[in-house]
Amino acid sequence: MLTGSGLVAIGYSASPLLGMVGQRVCFGTPMTARMTAGSLMGIAGITLVFGPEFVRLGMGKDVVLGATYTVLAVLISTLGSLMAHGNREARWPLWSTMAWGMLYGALSALAFAFGAGESLTFEPSATYIGSLLYLAVLGSIVAFACYLTLLNRIGIARSGYVGVMTPIVALVVSSFFEGFQWRALTVVGIAISVAGNVLVLRR
């Protein structure tokens, strides 16, 4: 298992809790005990799954920098979800707001790349073009449309549980294609996370 991925997974497991707090602060949405418990179970479960790998990293400069970037990424992601919820409250159309958001994001990434001295490259091969189309269409347009639709239907906190379940799905896929070895903590952590997911999504 990649330890860097474990660090990101632990960070994003806090998405439901941060989303719930953000909704309370920005929109006055009540924080329920059930949602709080389910969110904490998600964090606990993912920590059990990836915690041992994260501990092996130690606390070097690169780990601290990676943890800082992870915290910033989770906070910015939560802020984006809050803005999307605000757009829905204002009855702004999903597709146009998503298109503008992706345009701003693409321009920001381009400016950052140029600022870092990077240059644009393109490889005219089927593999490169196919992966580029996959990331642009399925990994970006379709994925964000599905997520924002989910957010509009069930709220920020519940939809934030995607950040908890995604690494679990990745582990299942890894066990088939990369030979990931399951441990007792892995099973217990996944069971706790899934139970938290059921608790959060139950009406």
Confidence of residue 6 (pLDDT cuts 50, 70, 90): low
Q: What residues make up the domain containing 111?
A: 3-201
Q: For residues 121 and 128, what is the distance between their CA atoms, to the nearest angstrom?
A: 11
Most trustworthy range by pLDDT among 12-16, 101-105, 159-163: 101-105
C-alpha count within 13 angstroms, C-beta hemisphere, residue 64: 3
Taking residue 4's Cβ as centre, other Cβ atoms within 10 Å add up to 15
Neighbouring CB atoms inside 10 A of 51's CB total 15
Q: Is the whole-model pTM more than 0.85? A: no
The string of pLDDT tens digits covering residues 120-147 is 889 999 999 999 999 999 999 999 999 9
- pLDDT exceeding 90 applies to what percent of the chain? 40
More confident residue, 172 or 78: 78
pLDDT at 154: 87
Mean per-residue pLDDT, 4-19: 80
Domain count, the chain: 1
Helix (H) or strand (E) holding 173: helix 162-177
| Angle CA 165–104–157, to nearest 5 | 30
Amino acid 58: pLDDT = 66
Q: How confident is the model at residue 5 (pLDDT cuts 50, 70, 90)?
A: low
**Is 21 in contact with 155 (CB distance < 8 Å)?**
no
